[in-house]
A and B are shown apart, each in its own frame.
Chain A
Amino acid sequence: MKPDLLIKGGRIIDPSQNLDKISDLLITRGKVNKIQDNDTISQSKSLPVVDASGYIVCPGFIDLHCHLREPGFEDKETIVTGTQAAAAGGFTTICCMPNTNPPLDNKASVDYVKCKAENEGEIRVLVIGCITKSRQGKELTEMYELAESGIIGFSDDGEPVANSRILSLAMEYSRSLGLPIIEHCEDKNLADGGFMNEGWVSTRLGLKGIPAVAEEIIIARDIALAELNKAKLHVAHVSTKGSAQLIRNAKEKGISVTAEVTPHHLTLTEERVMRSPSDKNKYLVYDTNAKVNPPLRTKEDIDALIIGLNDGIIDIIATDHAPHTSVDKMCEFGLAAFGISGFETALGSLMGLVHNGQIDLTTMISKLTTEPARIIGTKHGELGTLKVGSQADITVFDPNKEWIVNSQSFFSKGKNTPLDGYEFKGKVMASIFAGNIVYKDESIKIDGNNE
């Protein structure tokens, strides 16, 4: 029995319909039934009601880039804990990367994840398949069969396809599938095993740096190949000013390229590696929780990324949620794993930018809903919208609620966040998937008999 639910009195923002008004939203049998002004929806006694006054009600967030670690690294995350964490972050659709063990480079592996997610997951999990077998960059996967199994794109994330000919062939071969090639853009020779952004902080700390150009050179190459092959290119986790400029130029030329940026690349700089605002310690820190690939960059990069986001050069915000165990992180900086557990802090981080006036609320929401839905397409239903008749995937958040990040209370197994102890303003109050409340803040009360 699909649930009914009334969300009362919230400010409904749905960029897909240019909607921004205070209204009630009625969910019937798991679908959006109607959006009407206050108190015009008649309430039957049994209808559960979420009081959303003072809150934003928007389409459920979509994350085009995350790591659920299953199969193979279940000590870092599982589909169960990953989807719980995503729901707590306001996400109702997430797309998981195929760098599992075994990697998702064939239909059987993709089916395994899909099947597990359907049975155990709280929300919608969509799968990204590998470009090359075992992510080795040598032989193409069976891209047609992967597409038939329902993947939303191809990526060897964690690795670029280093061989330009292989990437070109992948784009050419898969062109008629209409699925994006999602590239982790990093010239591994230039990065040369580096640990953080190359600059004064890496010099200060004596850590090998990853230059910005290591990212930009691959983006430039990939854009050229996308143009040549008339392929759809999606650039994962853009982190530099130069990258934003390359994507801007490509878009102006009409090349089919989209791009994402993570909340951490929009809010933290390389200095976070050596200094923690919450740490009273007078000594430097080598904070492995701020070790991420691509690395945290500079203020100048952040400024360019925010401009790009506002201009539409950067299409979406994705978390690159990359959970790790404490063993992976509580070690020497150079030996620590790359990655940030990002689901549960995404909204809080981004709302900081909204409160500072750097991006507006509707833009933020569209980058988390309408825009990623556009990249995914409609094969999996109409996503990222509150249109009447669509599945009721909804995020309710309080733009002004203040809270303090405590990684130990994360649903994710990955407590690896550089944001522990940060004070945020803006918090997810409820996540609704197909009309079911899959996450709610403890302060939310549901009137009626059905939670």
Chain B
Amino acid sequence: MKTSEPKSNVISTETFPPLSISSWRHRHILDLDDFTTEEIELVFEIADAMAEILTREVKKVPTLRGKTIVNLFYEPSTRTRSSFELAAKNLSADTISLDASKSSIAKGESLVDSLCTLQALGADVIVMRHSQSGAPYLAAQHTNTSIINAGDGWHAHPSQALLDLYTIRSHLGKLDNLKVVIIGDIMHSRVARSNIWGMSTMKTKLTLCAPATLLPKGLEDFINKYQLPNINIEPKIETALEEADVVMPLRLQMERQQSGLLPTLREYIQLYQLNKHRLSLAKPNALVMHPGPINEGIEISSEVAHGVQSVIEKQVTNGIAIRMSLFYLVTGGKKNEA
């Protein structure tokens, strides 16, 4: 592989990119729990090159020409699905997006059968979103196609965690020894779970802040079991926010209140909403992030969501670069595996 040319130039050629991916070992991207620091850095390096493409007038390179990427979404999604779709198109892959609620799946076809069909149709990568935790693992067991987990139940959302880390890194220049605070519905959050792995690996300090009813019951045991010294739990938001470099409130779904986990939204807003006053408790230029979609006025006030410290839109743009990087790596990695 050629390595002499600068990154930004080689992308325009079909041999893009000459970065060393020969050591890439992930056929699937299921979670970040099995990623090393070097692998996450490699994803970022390639994402940097991809981000450059996104600044061009013609945002398209022929890298994945002839590859077929299927977006298989069992759960409604606008942002993640569009992001993966654009990422694939920018790399010239052929894409199909399947809304599982409108296909044969709605007629009772099993997940494994659906995947085998997609494999037989020639899919090279299947991007999968599913409301059931572990569904992409079932998929990975039963197909040879690369599976990218675009969110499974409460379990994992690796591309989101990568774009979160990437966004932090691009704004603050590093990841280690930063303090990130994730606030809100940790229990049901795949974003939080993937960030636990990603941030642990990158030595970022992560504080999880939520009322006890929105924390997973086994969280402390889990942290001890896996010896994750950088992960802390702090139910009091004012304490959690001290010295924070990044603050990330999570979407609070209305049904959490209906199922009794919270007495009222009003009290949640009073106790946990990221507003201007609370943000002032963090470091002066702390970044405000959100995995979206936002419930403005619930977990975050409008002025903070759209304030100068907010990099929420930047996250969305970075998401495309990260997903282009992942497509590139899993398709390239596959060749090496054979």
Which residue, A198, A211, A281, A284, has most C-beta atoms of chain B within 10 A?
A284
Instruction: Please name all residues of chain A whose beta carbon is closer than 8 Å to the beta carbon of B30 when the two chains form the complex.
Output: 283-284
Tell me what chain A mostly uses at the interface: helix, strand, loop, or mixed.
loop
Of the candidates B111, B140, B190, B221, the one whose C-beta lies within 8 Å of that of A200 is B221
Chain A residues near B89: list those with CB within 8 A: none
Interface string of A192-220 (1 = CB under 8 A from B): 00000011111111111101000000000
A334:B216 contact, CB within 8 angstroms:
no
Check B34 against A199 for contact (C-beta < 8 Å): no
Q: Which residues of B contact A177 (CB under 8 A)?
A: none
Q: Looking at the complex, which one of A199, A283, A333 makes contact with B217 (CB distance below 8 Å)?
A: A199
B211 / chain A contacts, CB cutoff of 8 Å: none
A333 to B134, CA, bound (A): 7
Query: With A283-B140, A286-B138 given, is the CB distance from A202 to B130 under 8 Å?
Result: no
B268 interface residue (CB < 8 Å to A): no
CB of A19 closer than 8 Å to a CB of B: no
Contact among A207, A211, A283, A330 with B154 in the assembled complex (CB-CB below 8 Å)? A207
Q: Given A206-B153, A286-B138, are A333 and B218 also a contact pair (CB < 8 Å)? A: no
Chain B residues whose C-beta falls within 8 Å of the C-beta of A282 in the assembled complex: 34
Give the residue of B31, B112, B156, B218 whose beta carbon is less than 8 angstroms from that of A201: B218
Closest residue of B by beta carbon distance from A334 = B132
Cα separation A263 to B34 with both chains bound (whole Å): 33
Is the pair B154, A206 in contact by a Cβ cutoff of 8 Å? yes
A203 touching B217 in the complex, CB below 8 Å, given contacts A327-B110, A331-B110, A334-B153: yes
Contact of A203 among B33, B153, B156, B218 (CB under 8 A): B218
CA–CA, A87 and B155, complex, Å: 42
Within 8 A of A (CB), among B119-137: 130, 132-135, 137
Q: How far is the CB of B21 from chain A (nearest CB, A)?
A: 19
Q: Tell me the number of A-to-B contacts counted with CB atoms below 8 Å.
A: 87
Contact partners of B218 in chain A: CB under 8 A: 198-204, 209
**Residue B141, interface by CB 8 Å:** yes
Residues of A within 8 A of B222 (CB): 200, 203-204
Q: Which residues in window 94-126 of A have CB below 8 A to B?
A: none
Interface residue A285 (Cβ < 8 Å from any Cβ of B): yes
Other-chain contact of A206, B34, B190, B225 (Cβ < 8 Å): B190
Kindly state whether residue A335 has any CB partner on chain B within 8 Å.
yes
Is A423 positioned at the interface, with any CB of B under 8 Å from its CB? Answer: no
User: For residue A202, which residues in chain B have a CB less than 8 angstroms away from its CB?
Assistant: 216-218
Interface check B152, CB cutoff 8 A: yes
Best-surrounded residue of A201, A206, A330, A331 (most CB of chain B within 10 A):
A206
- Alpha-carbon distance between A207 and B132 when the two chains are bound, in angstroms: 8
User: Considering the chains assembled together, what is the distance between the CA atoms of A201 and B134 in angstroms?
Assistant: 13
Taking a contact as CB atoms under 8 Å apart, the answer to whether A332 and B135 are in contact is yes
A203, A208, A283 — most chain B CB neighbours (10 Å): A203
Within 8 A of A (CB), among B191-218: 193, 216-218
Is B219 at the interface (CB under 8 A from chain A)? yes
B134's partner among A198, A205, A281 (CB-CB below 8 A) is A205
Identify which of A201, A327, A331 contacts B138 (C-beta below 8 A). A331
Residue from the set B135, B155, B218 with the largest chain A CB neighbour count within 10 Å: B218
Residues in chain B near residue A203, CB distance under 8 A = 216-219, 221-222
Contact B133 A200 (CB under 8 A): no
Closest to B25 in A: A282
Cross-chain pairs A/B with CB under 8 angstroms, 23 sampled: A199-B217, A199-B218, A200-B219, A202-B217, A202-B218, A203-B221, A205-B155, A206-B133, A206-B190, A207-B153, A207-B155, A283-B34, A283-B137, A284-B30, A284-B134, A284-B137, A286-B137, A286-B138, A330-B138, A331-B110, A331-B138, A332-B130, A332-B132
Question: Besides the contacts A206-B152, A286-B133, what 15 more A-B pairs have beta carbons closer than 8 Å?
Answer: A199-B218, A201-B218, A202-B217, A204-B218, A206-B153, A207-B134, A283-B34, A284-B31, A285-B137, A286-B134, A330-B138, A331-B111, A332-B135, A332-B138, A334-B134
Nearest 8 A/B pairs, CB to CB: A206-B155, A286-B134, A206-B154, A332-B132, A200-B221, A203-B218, A206-B133, A200-B222
